[in-house]
Amino acid sequence: MARSPITDLPADYVEVQHLVLTEPRLLFRLNLLGLIPLILAVVAMGVYGAWIAPLRPSIPPERVPLPDVLMIVLVIVITLPLHELIHGLAITYVGHKPTYGMKLDKGVLYATADQALFRRDEYLMVALAPLVVITLAALLLLWIVPNGLVYWLSLAVVLNAGGAIGDLWAVGVVLRHPRSVLVRDEADGFRVFGCAAENKQGA
């Protein structure tokens, strides 16, 4: 059971870090770094697919009766909003109300919770939820989907992993802070707040 949500910043907390993930230089770097989880996912799905291939039943049809270009579009159109929906469900789980949107100039979708404050571990769970849920769900579904969907389901996992680089970067940044911090998520980044007394002691 999730603890009561925090909406008001404690009086003794101050902002200790503000990160804008859509800042042009960082966004460019993240787009390049996104190749790392993408490549790892390609390798992992290839190994997993080779392992289950002789074990799973052969389920027709062998091909999806749609052009490959349309299937690529469908994978993107389904995977990206699903990623944000899972963020939103995780936000709801910890007691806040999610809001959804997109920044067309940056080419990103987002799920956030206006003015909500997350405990550090809550924020980590919200950030990692889409990567974990979509990956695990796909690994299970690969045992039962028709042969023609195996490649496309694997592609969804790969694209989701590559697209999760912003979440992974945020996790890496937030993990550098103690568990006592609070995180305010924003559409294009987040703010970290820590106890002023703890910050003075650590200075």
Residue corresponding to tokens 């550098």: 176
- Select from 127, 153, 144, 149 the least CA-distant residue to 41: 153
Name beta bridge partners: 184.
Answer: 191
Name beta bridge partners: 183.
Answer: 118, 192
- Select from 166, 185, 169 the least CA-distant residue to 120: 185
Measured CA to CA in angstroms, residue 4 lies from 94, 96, 117, 122 at distances of: 8, 9, 11, 11
pLDDT of 200: 56
Measured CA to CA in angstroms, residue 92 lies from 97, 111, 120, 145, 172 at distances of: 6, 11, 16, 30, 23
The separation between CA 144 and the C-alpha centre of its own chain, rounded to angstroms, equals 25
Do residues 150 and 75 lie in contact, with contact meaning Cβ atoms separated by under 8 Å?
Answer: no
d(Cα 54, Cα 48) in Å, to the nearest integer? 11
Parallel/antiparallel/unpaired status of strands 182-186 and 118-119: antiparallel
- Select from 189, 172, 171 the least CA-distant residue to 103: 189
d(Cα 15, Cα 194) in Å, to the nearest integer? 6
pLDDT at 83 over 90: yes
pLDDT digits (tens, 9 = 90+) for 139-183: 999 999 999 999 999 999 999 999 999 999 999 999 999 999 999
pLDDT at 16 over 60: yes
pLDDT digits (tens, 9 = 90+) for 42-81: 999 999 999 999 999 999 999 998 999 999 999 999 999 9
pLDDT digits (tens, 9 = 90+) for 180-201: 999 999 888 999 999 877 755 5
pLDDT at 89 over 50: yes
Residue corresponding to tokens 């919770």: 113
d(Cα 44, Cα 13) in Å, to the nearest integer? 42
pLDDT of 199: 59
For the question of whether the overall pTM of this predicted structure is more than 0.85, the answer is yes
